[in-house]
Amino acid sequence: MSSKLNLILIGPPGAGKGTQAERLTDDFNLPYIATGNILRAAIRDETELGTKAKSYMDKGELVPDDVITEVILEALGSADARDGFLLDGFPRTLPQADALAAGLEAADRRLTAVILIDVPDEEVTRRLSGRRVSVKTGRVYHVELDPPKHEGRCDIDGSRLVQRDDDKPETIAKRLAVYHAETEPLADYYERRGLLRRFDGTRSPTEVHDHIRATIATLRLEDEL
């Protein structure tokens, strides 16, 4: 059985999953598989997947389980993800969690940990209302909490920063409701399997990162012993 790092990031919208993933993939040299990014790219490229996903995403609803599960199991089976992965945004429902467990078991792999970043609803709303994303690099900013050096421009290459379509107030409220109903039960699901690690996402990005990195480093050491 493989002893690579097979990690999942879960948490409400705006918890900082993407922000932390950028740092953790660097720390541990892991391929990053983010369902939201995959789906947004599919919409931009007008693929069949994008056409299926768009109406759900625009409303803040989840894309059907079978549609997203197929995409993710295929990504996990690719050569890139063979030596470990950081999965962000999947699973988001109990059927997705069961499908992932079955897919990993069939490949004789197992999860190392599920990292839950917790943030209350009011903070989610504040963060998502001010979030801006580079159209080219995908780097995420916040107009007040993490502003770019030059307003509206990415620090990396000067590309334009835009607001995501689903970061409008009414869609944020819907996404939060969907999170509480569909995704929150996964905390119990993974707790029962001894995989859940909780982190306080209200701390600064650096503090959250330090805590998660230390936990993963320990898990990796334990795995190697």
| Cα angle, residue 135 at apex, residues 134 and 140 outer, rounded to 5° | 25
| Residue 135 phi, psi (nearest 5) | -65, -25
Closest residue to ligand AP5, judged by C-beta, is: 36
Residue whose CB is less far from ligand AP5, 134 or 166: 166
Is 204 a binder of ligand AP5 (CB under 6 A)? yes
Residue whose CB is less far from ligand AP5, 85 or 141: 141
Non-local (6+) Cβ contacts of 207 within 8 A are none
Distances (CA, A) of 219 to 114, 212, 216: 11, 11, 5
CB of 225 to ligand AP5, least distance (A): 32
CB of 80 to ligand AP5, least distance (A): 19
Catalytic annotation on 175? Answer: yes
Is 86 a binder of ligand AP5 (CB under 6 A)? no
Binding range to ligand AP5, per CB under 6 A, among 41-49, 52-60, 77-85, 155-163: 52-60
CB of 85 to ligand AP5, least distance (A): 14
Options 4, 127, 139, 175, the catalytic residue: 175
Catalytic annotation on 131? Answer: yes
**CA 172, 175, 179, 181 torsion: positive or negative?**
positive
Kindly state the number of chain residues that form the binding site for ligand AP5, as judged by CB under 6 A.
36
Chain centroid to CA 72: 12
Catalytic annotation on 164? Answer: yes
Is 196 a binder of ligand AP5 (CB under 6 A)? no
Options 23, 164, 174, 220, the catalytic residue: 164
Options 131, 132, 139, 197, the catalytic residue: 131
Closest residue by Cα to residue 89 from 143, 17, 166: 17
Catalytic annotation on 92? Answer: yes
**Cα 62 from Cα 82, distance rounded (Å):** 27
The DSSP-derived string for 116-164 is EEE--HHHHHHHHHHEEEETTT--EEETTTB--SSTTB-TTT-PBEE--
CA dihedral 27, 35, 100, 187 (to 10 degrees): 80
Residues at the site binding ligand AP5, with contacts judged by CB under 6 A: 11, 13-19, 35-36, 39, 56-57, 60-63, 68, 89-90, 92, 96, 127, 130-131, 140-142, 145-146, 166, 175, 201, 204-205, 208
